[in-house]
């Protein structure tokens, strides 16, 4: 029997106000609260609320045989607490069913695992506590931002005590292997790596509403047959996608909600497949073999590497300038002023450098779709203006500490049990 593992990533960043250097310098808060709230409320109406209710119905109808998993970024949880608390309650209701696993990640959807292991550990600790406090179970599965993974990231995740790590089943990583069994990242002793089956995942996430796709329109019974047609010894199939796929990227009139409503019924006919969570798969199945991961792999763009965030000089300059300010922001927090660190962490969200990508063709179209800027250079200039304002704030004498609403920040030596659209959250192909 093959376990079907649905995992949904739900994320919203704190987008910046579009402002000049002087305007950013004169404001203590660089983020576009009105715009962020508008996008969150739109995505909650189109996706989060109706899809959460649908999943609750499926769990009840199928008496717990339907299961799935989520990652909610800390930045999204902050926004839900501030502007959509009833929507957040629906995620809590899903956790209460016992059929939904909430996976851990970095609190601010950052690239810290690649740049600053101590900051990475601090964000993971804060997010792990937050997930446990909100949803009642301490997470044992981890996913890094945008499924970015190499042997160093895997070693950090194992050292933090996680049992399972999610990743992208990219061809450069797997070679002639298949993504249907747990692997052990090279250099790890016990961590199990569960990989995404990108063809079947993208059939839902990208191709579902494309009338030029030969399989259009995709029906639940046909998709269920594909799941049942996997190798008989396949331990699981990872269907990993943005939660905003449902109702935001694929609008309701595409039939995406009807498809999901029927899929469990079709899949559960017979005894070929069942639904499971990542932790259940990791517990039930041994690692098939050791898997070398010498270079970073992600689920972004055709290259499935780091080029979505760190390919061009603007992106690298912004990333380097941001992390150059981290020691000063930490020092301010240790002196009792957490405001700069809270701003720094929101600026560290990977979306900001993603908006600076200068790719062309289909990847460029996806970047443009998600970006709130007319050009990548505008994203770069606005980000650097906000960063310069933060630098100036850190250099001037402290008067009274201030913290952006809903965003407490602690020095990395402590952990907190408080939480640290754009058209949804996926930034790929």
Beta-bridge partner residues of 5: 238
From the list 78, 101, 105, 146, the catalytic residue is: 146
Q: What is the Cβ-side half-sphere exposure of residue 228, based on CA atoms within 13 angstroms? A: 15
Q: What are the residues whose beta carbons fall under 8 Å from the beta carbon of 342, sequence distance 6 or more?
A: 403, 404, 407, 408, 409, 420
Q: Do 318 and 352 touch, CB atoms closer than 8 A?
A: yes
Name the residue among 388, 382, 232, 251 with its Cα closest to residue 324.
388
Q: What is the DSSP letter of 236?
A: E
Contact 49, 10 (CB under 8 A): no
The DSSP 8-state label assigned to residue 400 in this structure reads: S
Which run of H or E residues covers position 165? strand 164-168
Residue 99's contacts (CB-CB under 8 Å, 6 or more residues apart) are: 59, 64, 66, 67, 68, 277
Strands 184-185, 192-196: pairing kind: unpaired
Q: Is 146 a catalytic residue?
A: yes
CA nearest 73: which of 33, 127, 19? 127
Least Cα distance to 113 among 317, 301, 293 occurs for 293
The burial of 396, by beta-carbon neighbours within 10 Å (0-12 exposed, 13-18 middle, 19 or more buried), is given as: exposed
Burial 356-378 (b: 16+ CB within 10 A, else e): bbebeeebeebbeebbbbeebee
CA contacts within 13 A on the Cβ side of 301: 21
3 has which bridge partners? 236, 274
Q: What is the DSSP letter of 178?
A: -
Q: Would you name the residues annotated as active-site residues?
A: 146
């Amino acid at each position: 029997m093959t376990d079907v593992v649905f995992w949904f990533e739900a994320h919203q960043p704190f987008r910046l106000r579009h402002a000049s250097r002087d305007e950013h310098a004169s404001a203590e808060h660089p983020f576009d609260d009105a715009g962020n709230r508008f996008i969150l409320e739109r995505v909650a109406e189109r996706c989060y609320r109706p899809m959460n209710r649908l999943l609750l119905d499926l769990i009840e109808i199928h008496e717990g045989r339907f299961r799935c998993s989520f990652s909610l970024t800390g930045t999204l949880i902050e926004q839900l607490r501030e502007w959509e608390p009833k929507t957040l309650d629906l995620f809590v209701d899903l956790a209460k069913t016992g059929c939904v696993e909430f996976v851990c990640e970095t609190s601010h959807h950052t690239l810290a695992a690649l740049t600053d292991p101590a900051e990475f550990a601090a964000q993971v600790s804060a997010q792990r506590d937050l997930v446990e406090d909100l949803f009642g179970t301490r997470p044992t599965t981890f996913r890094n931002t945008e499924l970015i993974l190499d042997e160093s990231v895997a070693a950090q995740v194992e050292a933090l005590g996680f049992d399972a790590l999610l990743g992208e089943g990219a061809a450069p990583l797997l070679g002639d292997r298949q993504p249907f069994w747990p692997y052990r990242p090279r250099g790890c002793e016990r961590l199990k790596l569960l990989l995404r089956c990108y063809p079947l995942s993208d059939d839902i996430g990208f191709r579902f509403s494309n009338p030029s796709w030969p399989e259009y329109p995709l029906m639940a019974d046909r998709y269920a047959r594909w799941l049942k047609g996997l190798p008989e010894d396949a331990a699981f199939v990872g269907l990993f996608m943005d939660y905003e796929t449902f109702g935001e990227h694929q609008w309701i009139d595409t039939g995406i909600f009807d498809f999901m409503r029927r899929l469990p019924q079709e899949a559960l006919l017979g005894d070929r497949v069942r639904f499971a969570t990542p932790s259940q798969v990791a517990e039930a199945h041994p690692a098939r073999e050791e898997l070398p991961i010498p270079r970073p792999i992600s689920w972004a763009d055709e290259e499935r590497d780091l080029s979505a965030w760190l390919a061009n000089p603007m992106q690298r300059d912004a990333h380097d300038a941001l992390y150059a300010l981290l020691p000063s922001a930490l020092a301010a927090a240790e002196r009792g002023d957490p405001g700069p660190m809270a701003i720094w962490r929101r600026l560290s969200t990977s979306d900001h450098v993603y908006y600076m990508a200068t790719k062309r063709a289909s990847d460029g179209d996806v970047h443009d779709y998600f970006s709130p800027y007319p050009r990548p250079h505008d994203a770069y200039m606005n980000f650097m203006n906000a960063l310069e304002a933060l630098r100036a704030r850190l250099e001037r004498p402290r008067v009274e500490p201030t913290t952006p609403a809903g965003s407490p920040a602690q020095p990395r030596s402590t952990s907190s049990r408080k939480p640290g659209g754009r058209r949804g959250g996926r930034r790929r192909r």
